[in-house]
Amino acid sequence: MPDRSDRPFHALTAEETLAELSAGPGGLAPAEAAERLALHGPNRLPEPPGRNAVLRFLAQFHNVLIYVLIVAAGVTAALQHWVDTGVILAVVLVNAVIGFVQEGRAEQAMAAIRDMLAPRSAVLRGGRRVTVEAADLVPGDVVLIEAGDRVPADLRLIEARGLRVEEAILTGESVPVEKAVAAVAPEAALAERLPMLFSGTLAAAGTGRGVVVATGPATQIGRISGMLASVETLTTPLVRQMDLFARWLTVFILLVAGSLLAYGFYVGHMSFGELFMAVVGLSVAAIPEGLPAVLTITLAVGVQAMARRNAIVRRLPAIETLGSVSVICSDKTGTLTRNEMMAARLALGEAELAVAGEGYAPEGEVCPVDVAPGPGSGAATDPELLAALARAAALCNDAVLHEEGGVWRVEGDPMEGALLALAGKIGAPGGDRTRRDAIPFDAAHRYMAVLVEAPEGGAELLVKGAPEAVLALCADRMAPGGGTVPIVPADWHRKVEELAADGLRVLALARRAMPAGQEGLSHDDLAGRLSLIGLVGLIDPPRPEAIAAVADCHSAGIRVKMITGDHAATARAIAAEIGLKNTDRVLTGADVEALDDAELAAAATGTDIFARTSPAHKLRLVTALQARGLTVAMTGDGVNDAPALKRADAGIAMGLKGSAAAREAAELVLADDNFASIAAAVREGRTVYDNIKKVISWTLPTNAGEALTIVVALFAGMMLPITAVQILWVNLITAVTLGLALAFEPSEPGTMRRPPRARTEPLLTGGLIWHIVLVSGLFVLAVFGIFAYATERGHDPALAQTMAMNTLVVLEIFHLFFIRNIHGTSLTWTGLRGTRIVWACVLTVTGAQFAVTYLPLLQPVFGTRPVPLEDGLLIVGIGAVFFALIETEKQMRLAFRRGQHGT
């Protein structure tokens, strides 16, 4: 590139800017773009500085329990209990290492998700429209900008049509700025540089194209280091709630431990050294210090599982919300359907034509509906009408068709791609005329209009859009053989109904001859002055996987509602194909506007099809459904969908066709725009919530059981059935293995056959509290029972304590297999078989217990003795009886619940 001019780009004309960057209006050649990418580097901001690994490791020691353990290690060292000191310090170190590793995995998970959300941009390369990663943009690239797009780099506009941009992140101006192509003064303030678009700002309306003048750190936002986004902290309200619960539980347990220390020393006259170690063991056993960390890794596993199913979590509370979704409001096009449009029927004058072909290939016959395709089949079709329709289809269009390996693909809107293919099938000339001006499509007026040069030197206005909108602008219609005749709107509305009843999306095309000198275009040029050319019926078949996903949602008690801008009859036909429940009733946008909030809430609950709706209607529908106590997931892709996505309990944006504004307003982004991915995300959301509940349901009862054994012994003035060092060991080896295994549990059978949980359901339910009481009570009975049995048989006290410790570990293993299925029976082959992670953890714990029990090197450290075979079998038998008891109680509880619900 030549040396930079002294003048800034906003002071140069569009032509001067292109010359300065050695670029043309058709963009760079791919080879040139690759060279510039190597020269300038990727178009991304510097990564936010990560936390130093050493500081992140030291931060693991910033914990109330760790402080307690460090003090305890100091006291035991002063008492010269060196073995106890070593075990305590080992517990501290291992906990820190595990927390460090888990936190690193969580950050990696969020970094991977951020990479998956890398934005893409439409650019011109070698004169062709292509979509590239925003990171691959280079100075000289020509970028196409539409409403809702996030500007990917600093651009100098070379074309703008009604373009308004929100620049609040740079200028603080809350009102969108109207952009223009004309150069401004070199000293213009940032907010007054109208021909410039700055990276990170948001296009609020209109369209434009601009040439990239700066990328990455060289952009305006790149110079402001404070605006760099960091990786989101991996947490949710539920995890914060459990963290707070663990803190208060820690305070309570420390108070109890202090009271026990005073009681044992002053009332029980116990040795301070032994008593102190017992209290330390009690504290470690009772405090669920690893719970927040395990919950965090459970979330990280869930985030990655959802990403594998093409559902990218942007805000982590959505994981919890998905478990309680009771209504999914979905767009139709591209989400429930393939988004592979094809023109299938035409209505021109009195004739109705069928269009043959497949996909976006511009190959196929156009012939009357009652004539089979073949040579001469189109002879009865008026060529002038067909040519006018082909011109409108090709010129009132922003899409581009590409052939790649014999497969035709569309860059841009699929519907416009289908119109280009239709124009190619008709074969009429005129697809290369110069466009003078355009009115972009907008949901407010629902049409697009272009002003193009006419072959005879004049100008032609071409319009396409929703039939109701276009017909309202028409004064007459084109007649076969030339000329125009009066239009009868009722006849054409009836044709629209007939086409839509067959599941076709209908567009109307119109034209008007314009004066040769006209260069601009306004809405006033259309009103009541157009001549209707005809109607085009396009088909977009349902996705087969969406049909299955809708059935899954219905079995899960989730109502699916389809919201579309299509005609009511089209919506009803597609709804019947995908299996929506109520296809008899359709609410249109006009109906929504006619109902007050209370009436809409009542009507929306029983209606599954909403047609001819605008983004504003989506917001009212979300609010209405929420007013009925429903938890709503809403999909959206346009900039105007952002309010509804924010209002919804779970906003879901489209990753392929969605605007940046929609993606930023949403909690989830679908990487494939597929409804099946929503159902998969709901399944994963329920699984994550189940696994979090399993982790808590396993951790709290086992911790309580460990702690109660010490509390009961101290208050009873008995010898501890398990020594403090052994409690420390059990807590260390089981918490970091068995508890963590539950984070990786797959979905339970019947996950999508359960009704949604209530949003107000607390995690610590009465059922969970009862389970804690039951399991911890059984733990105490089993531990004291085996200790008493060993003592009666005359075993050495150390052997009795070893047997009690192993009993505790066996009970925790059996409890793990029980808790893996909280919604059904655990006595299944699948339940007993477990997963590789579960068995790896169980084998690790078993191997560690055998080592502590039987290795002479470790026996003095933990005060253990070898357990005879028959006593070991008895311990396993106690675990089996424990499992049978809690499983029987669960089945009684589930049977009672089924009886209450009449199932």
Return d(Cα 117, Cα 353) in angstroms, integer.
Answer: 43
* Tokens at 345, concatenated: 């029927």
* Residue 124 phi, psi (nearest 5): -100, 125
Dihedrals φ, ψ of 503, to 5°?
85, 20
Residue 784 dihedral angles phi and psi, to the nearest 5°: -70, -30
C-alpha span between 5 and 26 (Å, rounded): 22
In angstroms, the CA 320 to CA 306 distance is 13
The span from the first CA to the last CA of the chain, in angstroms, equals 75
Q: Across the strands, what pairs with 130?
A: 123
- Nearest of 69, 259, 282 to residue 710 by alpha carbon: 282
* 3-class DSSP state of 437: strand
Q: Is 236 helix (H, G, I), strand (E, B) or coil?
A: coil
Cα gap 453→475, rounded to integer Å:
22
Q: Record the tokens describing residue 582, joined without a space.
A: 């109520």
d(CA 159, CA 182): 10
- Assess contact for 834 and 841: CB atoms under 8 A: no
Q: Describe the chain by its helix, strand, coil percentages, rounded to 5.
A: 50, 15, 30
473 touches 418 (CB < 8 A):
no
Residues in CB range of 649: below 8 A, 6 or more apart: 321, 324, 325, 626, 631, 632, 633, 759
* Amino acid at position 177, single letter: V
Which residue, among 300, 293, 312, has the nearest Cα to 108 in the 3D structure? 300
Strands (E), 783-864: none
98 φ/ψ angles, rounded to the nearest 5 degrees: -65, -45
Instruction: Tokens for 193, please give them.
Output: 């540089």
Number of other CB atoms surrounding residue 485 within 10 Å: 12
Contact 212, 145 (CB under 8 A): no
Q: Which residues are catalytic?
A: 331
Which residues sit opposite 560 in a β-bridge?
328
3-state secondary structure 237-283: HHHHHHHHHHHHHHHHHHHHHHHHHHHHHHHCCCCHHHHHHHHHHHH
In whole angstroms, what is the distance from residue 476 CA to residue 484 CA? 6
Q: Using alpha carbons, select from 536, 444, 445, 442 the residue that is nearest to residue 496.
A: 536
Closest CA to 842 of 748, 743, 734: 734
Listing DSSP states for 487-546 in one string gives --HHHHHHHHHHHHHTT-EEEEEEEEEE-TT-----GGGTTTTEEEEEEEEEE-PBPHHH
Instruction: Pick the closest to residue 192 from 203, 204, 179, 201 (CA basis).
Output: 179
> Which three-class secondary structure state does DSSP give residue 197?
strand
Strands (E), 691-807: none
Count the neighbouring beta carbons within 10 Å of the beta carbon of residue 55.
8
Name which of 213, 217, 215 is nearest 136 in CA terms: 215
